[in-house]
Every structure is written in structure tokens, then in C-alpha cells.
Structure 1
């Protein structure tokens, strides 16, 4: 197909009056002027955003944990609510939730998601006859919605440092290394049958794996794909840092730098509580920081040092994590605003090359997200996958804004969803803000919520 665009954000900057030729999901030509018979985009075109961190099932209880209780509320009290909720979910339920979530992501401008998938077993904690039953639910949801998927099966062995025995609430997550590696192999086989999907792994955290299991899981996935993404929760809460110091005598990120061969295929999720040496170590390793501002704020985790990290040329991606918000614009707004509140300054997350905060954040997050998923996405250029958004620039908050100011206004001044149309891998999945499964998915999701909250 051919798509004519009056204004487009290409890899090398803004361009006007361009025709994209898209074949088998890839951009094969970008030419000046309008080609005969080309479809006309309804607004400004920008690259789609990658969501680097998702726990799909958590979408179903977003908003159910905002009641104060006795004592101090924190991530750890929130986790108890999550465990209780998990006691009810079937594989079919997980598919219903993920389908609804992925449609919501697409509508807001996410075109690919890294699913940090740790719900493996049945309600009683037993293996399904097919190890990848729950993973299949995620694959099916991605296929139905049309979103690109990077599935990250999670290795979860223990409940805490020192190989503490898993709790009853964690029974649906736990695998031996041998069983986990078999699950990963099974998921690779399934991904070969799915459009626009790939596989990595996610050692859950240093709390949940030890050195030997971490190394064994990494070796297995590297044998299957040397570029497979590896994601890990790390240094999200102060308690985790203190527990790691008590057990290993090192801070979490420093231990990981010393005991794992970090490279550009690793994504450190949160990395909230890091010191200067750890920050510089992440950057030197070329690993990505996976930042989830709305979830981190919701859980009271803390603030990642984005200003210093970006000034030192660190690579980052954004994720919606617990899905308290499913909106890349809000994630980027909070990423900047948190720094403004901490530093009591404005317009911090820029670069020497790009003084527009909005443009700088969108471009860097999309490129970092592509790296975090080992996907051919993140920019609009020859040979890249056609994952793109069409923005409604007739909205008053966006109307008549020139180039860089358009994304500044979109992120910091607009409260309407500006996304009109969404293309993933060369296919239109959102048209005029709607998805073909909007009504049926919402009905199934509402029915499930009624059952879960009964």
C-alpha cells in the first residue's frame, strides 16, 4: 500500500508531503510528493510507542487498591491484594483481560508491548497439561487485538533473598529452572506461529532468583536467540535495596553488574533506587532503564534519576506496568514532571540535539522501547516496520502547532486522546479511534469484572 502524509516525524526529523510505500509490514520507500492512488493520512504521523513493561492481568484490579487501611500502605500491602485477586483467574479470564488491555493500549498509541508474564499455573498452583497454556492466552489476545508482542516468561523461584520458600500467594508463579527453560522453548515454538511476536525472558527480581538459576535461564534463552530481550525488576523499593545489602553485601544493580553480563538486550525495570556508580554502570553496559512513572507514583516507589541518566546518554523505555494508566502521553508527562518537582526547575529532559522536551521524550522512549523488545520499530525509516500513529491535529490543543511544539502540546497541554488511526506491522488496527472488537471485548471484560468482584 501507499500512504500520503502531509506531515510526518521520520527518523531524521520532520518532513512534509511524503508518500510511504509499505509492503509486508515494512516501509520500503519514502518519496517526496503524492503518489497516484495513495491513501491520505488524516493528520500528522509519528512513530508508535513501545510499552516495555506490562502485567496484563493487573488491568482487572486497577483502582481496587486505593482504600487506606490500618498501618502504612506500600507496594508490599498492594501486593497482598494482587495475590488475593489471582486466586480466581482462569486462562480464559486472562485472555479476556489481556485482549481488552491491548485494545486500550492501541487506542492510546502503544503499538507493541513487552508482557512480563509470570502467571503460569492453574488456580491450585499445579502445572497445566500444556505448560504454555497461560502464555497461549497472551498470544491469543495479542493476535485478536493486533498489537505487536514481546512475551517474557518470568522465572520466579523464591519469595525473598536467601532462597526463601515461596508463599501460598506465589504458587501460580513458581517453576524449577528445568521446567522454566522448557516453558521458554515452548513459547519460542508458539511465537513462530504468531504474527509480529518474539520471545525473551524475565528473571523476576533478585529476590526471586539466585545466581545459579539466573545464569542457567540466561544461558538457555541465549542459546535459542542471542539477541533475546532479558528484563528484570530491580531496586524498585528501598526495602529491596536494604535486603540485598544484608544478603549480598551489595546494592541490587551493582550486584547485577558484577554477576551478569549486561548488554544492550537487558532492560532493568524501575531501577528507581540507584546510586551514581550504578547509574553509570547501567549506561556503560548499554542496558535500558524501563521506567513506569504512573505505577511507580501509584505504589509510592520513588523517582528514577532521569535527568542525570539522560544527560549521561542513558537509554530508557516506558511501561504501563500495573495499568493504573494506559497512556504513553501520561507516562512521559510524569517522567518530566517528577524531575521538575525534585529539581524545582523546568524543561529538564532535553538533549543538546533536541530542545523540545516532548519530541525528545517521544523519540527516545520509542527507540529505547524498540531496543528493549529487540523489534524493528521505534522510528519511521526505510526498512523499519510500519508501526505508526495518525494524530488529529484539528484538536484545538494541537491545531496550528509547528513541528516540535506539536508534541510538546500533546504531552503537556492536551487532555484529549489525539490518536485517530493506528497501524501495526502495516495493518490498520484503529480507525477513527475505534477497534473492530471494541464492543465485544468491553462486554466480556465487564462480565468478568462483575464475576471477580462478586
Structure 2
């Protein structure tokens, strides 16, 4: 994987070690852990039961950073702007119409400013990587830019600007609905065929480095056919991430049944393509056979609870999926929240409301709900990103969160209580410092470039709101 000399141009060189009184390692909580990394930002040694040396940076609580496995960065600027009831019953589909109208106006400079603001917020709350499901490719008139990858490159530039790791997923978006229905005019900026996507992937290939991976994302089975997806995967390099929206809405399931005789997840599973490199985003409406098929395939279910709640999608079938041994991760999607803690909390609370039960996200080997959720989402997010992240182990990225040991919620805790308390004890942000690839990007709860990022975002929003 190539290295870019500009990768860390915005960040000072930090010391290449951190001593943690308590660190969450793959084998569980360990004491007195020295974490060491190289110039590239990869952990070279993780040593428990050691002794701090004079002058060494120290922390009380250190946990691996979380991967945000589903993001539409430009939608961050819409948060709060669609909560007005219409004349008829509002739904995902009426929200989508508003989103399309908004998306028609965004310029390359604006998408970079929006993405930088979003990614700084995600970092402040504990996401250290993001999977960008990027479908805003063309200019407002519907033509490709002179540099076809212009919009995607601007989003990657925002990731490098903020320091967050990124998996860029150019989106295959050819149809308006099942049956190869032509795209609507307000979808013109999204339009891509197989050749377009392969050209975009090829154009972005030089961006790959320790912080950046390039995969692909068929938007959905209503927007891309099975044959198209198979054609893309024949050319896409092995082990690159493949993400797709699927079974988010009942209307989508019904339309797929009418057009193909199969439900969306069933149709994809029967294609023989599903394996561990896939992330099925939402997968809200699966029957029990589909739940078992996805779990058995090794694919990740990408659950975006705050967006699913905001859009009225429904509830993921978490208990059956856990029982089947399925892999989950979390994403902030439309970015009505940028907090992994809130995402996980409401994943559990949604199940409690649906089932009128408590402590749903657990199994016999892990009864602590917070521990189960954080560890499962770490594993699933890392898998969906296609990057070596999600654990504090040698050879993985030095992506670490230092929690605020001075906060009342975390004082006097035993290790076993930490994750439950963090996730289920209120809305204060307990992330104090954040390291990504060994570089400290969040200091005392603030991004090191927060002022300039916020200023550019404010200018962007003034422009958009004047339209």
C-alpha cells in the first residue's frame, strides 16, 4: 500500500508511545499497558504489566477507536432541516425528495467543508474511521467534472484534513427502481453505470494508503442490478469492501417481491456473491431465513439506529441475528447524531421498546450489554472498512480514545463497569483525547483545527441557506 508524504501534513509529530493504566485489548481489560507505534502510525508493540517511564504520555482509560461504517457526508448539512410535517403522511420517501433537491446545489468546495465539519465531530465523539457511501459524483447539470473523481477526492481531502481514516465507496446508481426504471431528473448527479464506477475506482486508486481504502457500493438492488454488481466485482480487486443499502423499507421489500419474486436480501444471497467483504446497510426488514443467510455468509449488518429512527425505517432483528452468530457494525448515515455511544445506546433501547424487555444485546459469553455492543461494533466496523483497525494489537492502526477519567461518571470504576457506564449513563461526551494513526487529533475534547473547520462550514451553510 503506497504512502503519501502529505498524509499527516496538518498534524504535528507526537511521541510514539502512550502508557495506559487500563487499556481495552482483544483479550479484555489489561493494566499498565505501553502502546508503541511507528512513523506510519501502526502499532508495533502493546505491552501489559509494564512501568511508565519519566516523561511518557499517560492516560487512565484507553479504548480502540470506532469505525463509522456508513456515512453520507453531505447530509450533515441537512440535520434538523426536515423535521416539519407535510400535508400528507411523511415517510422515508418524502424525506428522500427533500434530500434530492438539496443535493442538486452542493459544490465541490462545499462538500469538502461539510465533510470536514462532520469528520471533526465524529472524531470528537470517538469515531476514528469512516466508510463514505459516496454517490454525489456529477455536477449540478448532470455532467461529470473534468476530473470525474472530483467530488470523491474532495471528501477524501476532508478526511486527510481532519485526520480521520476513510474507506471511500463510489456508488453504482443506474436506476430509479426495480425493473431498470430510468433515473428521475432530480437523481441526475448520482447517475453511474458499471464503466463509470470502474473508472472512478481506478482514478482514486492512487489515494490508497494507511489511512485510505477504496471499495465500491452498489446503491441498492433497486438502483443497481445483480448483473451489474457481478460485473463490477469481476474487476474489483479481491478483499475490497462492498457496501449496499438493502431492505431498509417495507415498500422496497414489496417492490422487489413484485419485480423478482424474491425479497431483497434473499435475492442478493441467492446470487452467490455474499461473503465477508460485504456490508449490508440497514437490513431492517429481513425474515428469519434471511437473518440466518446473512449471518452464515460472514457479511456485516450495518445498523444506523439514529437515522433509522429519524426516517421511521423500523427495527433490526437483533436477537435472532445475535443467536445466528451475525456480525454487526454501526454508522451515523445521515448524521442526525455523530456519536457512537448514542448509536449503540439506541440500538439497545430500540430493541427494549420493541420487545418490552431489557439487556437484549448480549449472549452467554458476554452478559454486559455495553461490552457486547462496543466489541461487536469494533469488529464489524473494522471488517466493513477493509482496514487494519478496531483493536489495540501490533500491526493495527494506532487509533485510540482516551476517556475523561476526571468525569464523575468514570470515577472509582472497576474495568468491568467502564463500557456499560460510558454508554448508558448520560449525554456528556466522555472522549477527551483521540489518536488516529498515532497522531493526536482531538485534545481536551476539541479538534486541533476546530476553529478553521467550523469557520469554513459556517461560510458554506450561509451559502446553502441563501438558495
TM superposition score category, shorter chain reference: over 0.9
Instruction: Tell me, in whole angstroms, the C-alpha distance in 1 between the residues paired with 2:228 and 2:201.
Output: 14
Instruction: Tell me, in whole angstroms, the C-alpha distance in 1 between the residues paired with 2:307 and 2:63.
Output: 25
Structure 2 residues without counterparts, runs of 5 or longer: 1-15
- 1:14·1:403 contact (CA, 8 Å) conserved in 2? yes
Secondary structure of the 1:50 match is strand
Counterpart position of 1:133 = 150
**1:10-409 aligned within 5 A:** 10-23=25-38, 24-31=40-47, 32-37=49-54, 39-192=56-209, 195-221=210-236, 225-409=237-421
Counterpart position of 2:4 = none
**Displacement of 1:38 after TM fit?**
5.7
Secondary structure of the 1:397 match is helix
- 1:2·1:38 contact (CA, 8 Å) conserved in 2? no
Instruction: Tell me, in whole angstroms, the C-alpha distance in 2 between the residues paired with 1:421 and 1:103.
Output: 13
Instruction: Tell me, in whole angstroms, the C-alpha distance in 2 between the residues paired with 1:42 and 1:20.
Output: 11
**Displacement of 1:30 after TM fit?**
2.2
- 2:399·2:436 contact (CA, 8 Å) conserved in 1? yes
Q: Does 1:429 align with 2:448?
A: no
- 1:4·1:38 contact (CA, 8 Å) conserved in 2? no
Instruction: Tell me, in whole angstroms, the C-alpha distance in 1 between the residues paired with 2:264 and 2:17.
Output: 49
Secondary structure of the 1:163 match is coil
Counterpart position of 1:453 = 465
Secondary structure of the 2:432 match is strand
Q: Normalised by the size of structure 2, how large is the TM-score?
A: 0.94
Secondary structure of the 2:434 match is strand
Identify which range, 165-174 or 26-35, moves more after superposition: 26-35
- 2:137·2:189 contact (CA, 8 Å) conserved in 1? yes
Secondary structure of the 1:69 match is coil
Q: Deviations over 1:210-240 (max 9, x none)?
A: 122111112121xxx2000000000000000
Secondary structure of the 2:410 match is coil
Identify which range, 179-188 or 125-134, moves more after superposition: 179-188
Instruction: Tell me, in whole angstroms, the C-alpha distance in 1 between the residues paired with 2:184 and 2:424.
Output: 43
Q: Deviations over 1:144-179 (max 9, x none)?
A: 000000000000000000110101111001012112
- 1:91·1:134 contact (CA, 8 Å) conserved in 2? yes
Secondary structure of the 2:87 match is coil
**Displacement of 1:35 after TM fit?**
4.2
Identify which range, 375-384 or 324-333, moves more after superposition: 375-384
Instruction: Tell me, in whole angstroms, the C-alpha distance in 2 between the residues paired with 1:404 and 1:6.
Output: 14
Secondary structure of the 1:42 match is strand
Identify which range, 374-383 or 280-289, moves more after superposition: 374-383
Instruction: Tell me, in whole angstroms, the C-alpha distance in 2 between the residues paired with 1:310 and 1:402.
Output: 27
Instruction: Tell me, in whole angstroms, the C-alpha distance in 2 between the residues paired with 1:260 and 1:74.
Output: 33
Structure 1 residues without counterparts, runs of 5 or longer: none
**Displacement of 1:414 after TM fit?**
2.5
Q: Normalised by the size of structure 1, how large is the TM-score?
A: 0.97
Instruction: Tell me, in whole angstroms, the C-alpha distance in 2 between the residues paired with 1:295 and 1:387.
Output: 25
**Displacement of 1:41 after TM fit?**
2.9
Instruction: Tell me, in whole angstroms, the C-alpha distance in 1 between the residues paired with 2:314 and 2:227.
Output: 30
Instruction: Tell me, in whole angstroms, the C-alpha distance in 1 between the residues paired with 2:34 and 2:463.
Output: 49
Instruction: Tell me, in whole angstroms, the C-alpha distance in 2 between the residues paired with 1:397 and 1:405.
Output: 11
Structure 2 vs 1, CA of residues 38 and 116 (structure 1 numbering), >3 Å: closer, same or farther? Answer: farther
What's the RMSD between the two structures over aligned residues?
A: 1.1
**Displacement of 1:263 after TM fit?**
0.5
Identify which range, 16-25 or 145-154, moves more after superposition: 16-25
**Displacement of 1:22 after TM fit?**
1.4
